[in-house]
Chain A
Amino acid sequence: MAEAKKEETTTHKIGIYLWIWGLLFVLSFFSYMVDWYNFQGLLRWSLILFFMFLKAGLIMAFFMHLFWERYALVNVLLWPMTAIACFVGLMVAEGKYTVFSRLFYFFVGGA
Chain B
Amino acid sequence: MSDTDLDKLPGGFKGMSEDIGSDQTTFKGVNWGKAMMWIFLLSDTFVFSCFLIAYMKVRASVVEPWPYPSEVFALEMMGVPVPLLLIAIMTFVLITSSGTMALAVKYGYEKNRKMCGWFVLLTAIGGLTFVGMQAFEWSKLIFHDGVRPWANPFGAEQFGAFFFMITGFHGTHVSIGVIFLFIFARKVFRGDFDTGKRGYFTTMKSDYVAIEILGLYWHFVDLVWVFIFAFFYLW
| Interface, chain A (partner B; CB < 8 A) | 2, 5-7, 9-12, 14, 17-18, 20-21, 24-25, 28, 31-32, 34-36, 38, 44, 48-49, 51-52, 55-56, 59-60, 62-65, 69-73, 75-77, 80-81, 84, 87-88, 91-92, 94-96, 98-99, 102-103, 106-107
Contact = CB atoms under 8 A, between A and B. Distances in A.
A99 B83 contact: no
Nearest to B73: A35
A17 B102 contact: yes
Overall SS of chain B's interface: helix
29 contacts: A6-B2, A7-B109, A9-B3, A20-B99, A21-B102, A24-B99, A28-B88, A28-B92, A34-B234, A35-B84, A35-B234, A44-B234, A52-B226, A59-B222, A60-B223, A63-B101, A69-B30, A70-B29, A71-B15, A76-B42, A77-B42, A84-B46, A88-B53, A91-B57, A92-B60, A95-B59, A96-B60, A96-B61, A99-B62
A91 B58 CA distance: 10
A100 to B, nearest CB: 9
A48 B235 contact: yes
A63 B98 contact: yes
A70 B6 CA distance: 9
Interface size of B as a range: 35 or more
Given A52-B226, A96-B60, A72 B26 contact: yes
A73 B35 contact: yes
B201 to A, nearest CB: 25
A17 B63 CA distance: 45
B49 A84 contact: yes
B28 A31 contact: no
A52 to B, nearest CB: 4
Interface of B: 2-4, 6-7, 9, 11-13, 15-16, 19-20, 26-30, 35, 38, 42, 45-46, 49, 53, 56-63, 70, 83-84, 88, 91-92, 95, 98-99, 101-103, 106, 109-110, 212, 215-216, 219-220, 222-223, 226-227, 229-230, 233-235
B6 A9 contact: yes
Contacts of A5: 3-4, 7
Contacts of A28: 88, 91-92, 95, 229
A103 B70 contact: no
Contacts of B61: 95-96, 98-99, 102
